[in-house]
Structure 1
Amino acid sequence: MPPIVIVTDSASDIDQSLQQTLGIEVVPLKVRFGEEEYLDGVTLRADQFYEKLRQSPVLPMTSQPSTMDFAAKYKEIIARRGPDVQIIVLTLSAALSGTHQSAVIAKSMLEEAADITVIDSKKASFVYGLIVVEAARAALAGQSKQQVLDLINRYIESIQVYFIIDTLEFLQKGGRIGKASAFLGSLLNIKPILYLDESGVVTPYEKVRGSKKAVSRMIERLKEYAGTSPVKAAIIHAQSPEEAEALRERVQTEMNVVEAFQAEVGPVVGTHTGPGVLGCAVVKV
């Protein structure tokens, strides 16, 4: 069976040790503070990013990988794994970034050289990072390309994610606020619960007073989806490790969790959410 290689972009926020263990190939996005440009996860780690965010007089900006960045990655994989390699690319939501388009155009440049499939995750951060990890595991376990694609599509369609943020300021200024603009001007201590809709757009779910109530409502909604089914969960946070660990403990106690991940929101997604994000993604297995 031809080898399968899973490719993603750095906004998936997959820990480098997982990338290396599972053979996941990552194309970095770029983060810019004024005239200073960094490669997400390569020359700028999450902790360094949030420190710069606190100190910088200017808000950061992000940019997608170029078509040539993806083409170079595809060529590198083909050279290393041979012309029969099968490449599956899972990208950040096309509704949030042009990354998906870059990956697709790069594929069109190399269609005769390799078997490449590009998929829009319609998700962000480790929400699709979890899907990438599961796809890489399936490929390593010897599943066929079609089996891996079926798994990816099933997870994209069924994974549920809810998150709360400290402020809508970063989403608004970065132009990624989507339908959550309905929550602008909320009263003090009102915590907006958001989710990504079927097209990958940030969408309001509910406004709750106080963080504790918001977390409980988020868990309640995920439990309505999961019932007693076994699930995999991903706790996602930005500079909130204690809150993330507490959320993880609750999710594992209150739901039938067979595996739980914990990931920090990296520089690309963090540019548009700011610190203080706390969320949970759950998918039936």
Structure 2
Amino acid sequence: MKVKIIADSGCDLPKQILDNLQIEMMPLIVQADGEDYLDRKTIEPLQLYSKMRNGSATKTAQVSPLTIKETLTTYAKQNIPVIYITLSSGLSGTFQTAVLMKNEVSEEFPDSSVAVFDSLGASLGYGLMVYEAALLAEKGECFENILSMLSTFRENLQHIFTVDDLEYLFRGGRVSKTAAFMGSLLKIKPVLHMEDGKLFPLEKVRGRKKAFARMLELMKERTGDTSNMTLAISHGDDIESANVLKEMIIKEFHTNEIIINMIGGAIGAHAGPGTVALFFLEKPVRTS
């Protein structure tokens, strides 16, 4: 029986991919102005970014434990193997909660095949992992082989971000108020990356163009042949910048297989409007 792939809204995959590959998405909770919303269900990214630009304080919360248990139970009852790939445990408590719910479901249905996999990724980096798993599932690949691929993919996955306004990172506790103020004054654009599932500042450059140029330099340093690799770019309501980066990548790496989508509330609530992120592998993990 075909493996069911589940992800949460932090994967930022385009709806067309989710629908075509029958990936079930569970929404994280986005809090704005004291109200709770379901990411990409009761609040769209553009609505969130509008609120943030107008000064709204935003936070996020993990997927509801009840939602996770009910969803996993649905497939366990039908003896459908299921893999729930979660947003990085370094950014959300969803993974830990999902493991608890999975254990309860496995006790109730001991013959079921249910796995929870920590992506250690975010946005479309995590999304690429989900995408490749769903492609394998669509081809009828077995439960164990998909989990093996996910482990290899996770080891090779690279995330590089830049943000447009340090104020949002200050609100999330990533930089000091002084650094945020001076960065805005001097047009400093931090370049960040992921280590062990958490987001860390890597270096600072002055100006958007230099930030993009540095992102490409880092990509050159960290990867080899990209001809058979799917890359991804996500953005916080800044498709123009995303397309600029895309053209720079095509010119430098001669690849056209690039997924672009807007960052949803799970990540956008912390990174803010204008964020641009690039995702690729250290070496190809071709599954499709």
| CA displacement at 1:164 relative to structure 2 | 0.6
Match of 2:257 among 247, 259, 262: 259
User: C-alpha offsets along residues 57-108 of structure 1, whole Å, 9 cap, x if unaligned?
Assistant: 53022111122110011122335xx22x111111111111111111111101
Distance 1:35 1:208, change over 3 A: closer
Match of 2:83 among 72, 88, 104: 88
In structure 2, the residue corresponding to 1:117 is in which secondary structure? Answer: strand
TM normalised by structure 2 equals 0.90
User: C-alpha offsets along residues 41-69 of structure 1, whole Å, 9 cap, x if unaligned?
Assistant: 111111122122223x5302211112211
Match of 1:148 among 146, 153, 162: 146
Structure 2: distance between partners of 1:51 and 1:74: 34
Higher mean displacement: 183-192 or 209-218: 183-192
Structure 1 unmatched runs, 5+ = none
Q: Which residue of 1 aligns with 2:60?
A: 62
Higher mean displacement: 248-257 or 238-247: 248-257
Does residue 18 of structure 1 match 2:17? Answer: yes
For the 8 Å contact 2:6–2:25, the answer to whether it is kept is: yes
User: C-alpha offsets along residues 207-245 of structure 1, whole Å, 9 cap, x if unaligned?
Assistant: 111111110111111022223343221011111101101
Q: Which residue of 2 aligns with 1:33?
A: 32
Q: Which residue of 2 aligns with 1:217?
A: 214
Q: Which residue of 1 aligns with 2:7?
A: 8
Q: Which residue of 2 aligns with 1:43?
A: 42
In structure 1, the residue corresponding to 2:165 is in which secondary structure? Answer: coil
In structure 2, the residue corresponding to 1:146 is in which secondary structure? Answer: helix
User: C-alpha offsets along residues 154-193 of structure 1, whole Å, 9 cap, x if unaligned?
Assistant: 1111011211102232233234x2xx66993554112110
Match of 1:133 among 131, 134, 150: 131
| CA displacement at 1:36 relative to structure 2 | 2.1
In structure 2, the residue corresponding to 1:110 is in which secondary structure? Answer: helix
Structure 2: distance between partners of 1:104 and 1:157: 21
Q: How does 1:223-262 map to 2 (within 5 A)?
A: 223-230=220-227, 231-257=229-255, 259-262=257-260
TM normalised by structure 1 equals 0.91
Q: Which residue of 2 aligns with 1:110?
A: 105
State, as a whole percentage, how many aligned pairs show the same letter. 35
Q: Which residue of 2 aligns with 1:275?
A: 273
Structure 1: distance between partners of 2:176 and 2:21: 38
- Amino acid aligned to 2:105: L
Match of 1:173 among 168, 171, 174: 171
Superposed CA RMSD in Å reads 1.9
Structure 1: distance between partners of 2:177 and 2:114: 39
| CA displacement at 1:256 relative to structure 2 | 4.7
Q: Which residue of 2 aligns with 1:158?
A: 156
User: C-alpha offsets along residues 237-275 of structure 1, whole Å, 9 cap, x if unaligned?
Assistant: 111101101111111221153621001111121110110
Higher mean displacement: 216-225 or 252-261: 252-261
For the 8 Å contact 1:192–1:205, the answer to whether it is kept is: yes
Structure 1: distance between partners of 2:169 and 2:222: 27
- Amino acid aligned to 1:40: D
In structure 2, the residue corresponding to 1:166 is in which secondary structure? Answer: coil
In structure 2, the residue corresponding to 1:257 is in which secondary structure? Answer: coil
For the 8 Å contact 1:46–1:264, the answer to whether it is kept is: yes
Q: Which residue of 2 aligns with 1:193?
A: 191
- Amino acid aligned to 1:91: T
